[in-house]
Amino acid sequence: MQPLVNWSLYDKLKAGGPAVGAWVASTDPTAAEIVAGHAWDFVLIESEHVCFNPESIRGALMGISVFDRPAIVRVPWRSEYHIKYALDTGAAGVLVPRIETPEQAAKAISFTRYPPKGRRGFAPQRVSNYGRATNEYAEKADRVLCLFMLETASALERIDEICGLDGIGGLLIGPADLAVDLGLIEHVGERHPKLQEAMDHVYARAAEAGVPYGAVCGSPAQGLDELRKGAKMVVVGSDIAWMRAGAATAFDQVQEGLKGL
C-alpha cells in the first residue's frame, strides 16, 4: 500500500524547478477535481481567505488525488492546529501565510516535522491510506514542504535569517499584500517599481541561499514573466477567476449577438 500523497513537487523543487501551480478557491470538491484534471505541478487549496473548514479541505484533497497531483494547502494561519489537519489529511505541504520573522517560520517548520526534528503529533490519518501505509509515510515525511508567504516589508528585513532555516521548503511572495504593506494600495495588481524592487530583493537572497522562490501571479503571462526572472515556483490563476472570466465572455458574446436581433 502507498500513502495518499504525491511527493513530486518536492522532487521537482529539489531538482531546481520550475513548478507551475493553480489555485482552488471554491469549497466544492468538484472544482478541485476539475482543476487537477490538468497536469499542474501542484494544486494549491486557498483556505486563508475562503471559507474552507477541515471537511471541505478533505473534500478538495480527495478531488485532487483522483488525478494524483501534489496538493498544497495555504492554511488560514501559522498554527499547529491548521497545519496538522492539512498534512494528516493528505497535503504534500502547507503554505503558511504572513511570515514576518525567522522565529515564526521556525515554529511553523516544527509543526511539519516529527520528533526529534519537530513537534508534529504522530497520527497520520487519510494521508497514511487510513493506516495501511503508516510506516511508508513516516519514512518519507521529511518531504513535507513547509512553504512561506512573504507579504510584508518586515519579512524582507529578515529574509536572510528566514532563508537560512533548516526545513524551509520555499518562498512565495504575495504581491497584493506586499504592495499594500509598502503603501501601494492604489497600485495593487501592478508591478510598481517599489514592489518590483522588493520582489527582486527576495529573489536574489533566496537564490543565494538555494531556497526555491516565486510568486502568486494573476495570469499565465505574469507567471511566465516571473519564471523568466528566475522564479522556481509560480501560481498562475484560480478556479474562481477562470469561472468569472468564462461567465463574462459568454455574457458579452450574448449581449453582442442581441444587438443584431
Identify the burial level of 173 via C-beta atoms within 10 angstroms of its C-beta, where 0-12 means exposed, 13-18 middle and 19 or more buried: buried
Active site residues: 49
pLDDT 10s digits, 119-157: 999 999 999 999 999 999 999 999 999 999 999 999 999
Q: What is the DSSP string of 54-104?
A: HHHHHHHHHHHHTTT--EEEE-SSS-HHHHHHHHHHT-SEEEE----SHHH
For the chain, the average pLDDT equals: 97
The x, y and z cell numbers of residue 130, run together, are 487510513
Q: CA neighbours within 13 Å on the CB side: how many for 238?
A: 16
pTM for the full predicted model:
0.96
pLDDT of residue 196: 95
Please report which confidence band the pLDDT of residue 28 belongs to, taking 50, 70 and 90 as the band edges.
very high
* Interval 233-251: pLDDT, tens: 999 999 999 999 999 999 9
pLDDT of residue 21: 98
Taking only the tens place, the pLDDT of each residue in 37-90 is 999 999 999 999 999 999 999 999 999 999 999 999 999 999 999 999 999 999
- Predicted confidence (pLDDT) per residue in 177-214, tens digit: 999 999 999 999 899 999 999 999 999 999 999 999 99
Domains and CATH numbers, the chain: 8-258 (3.20.20.60)
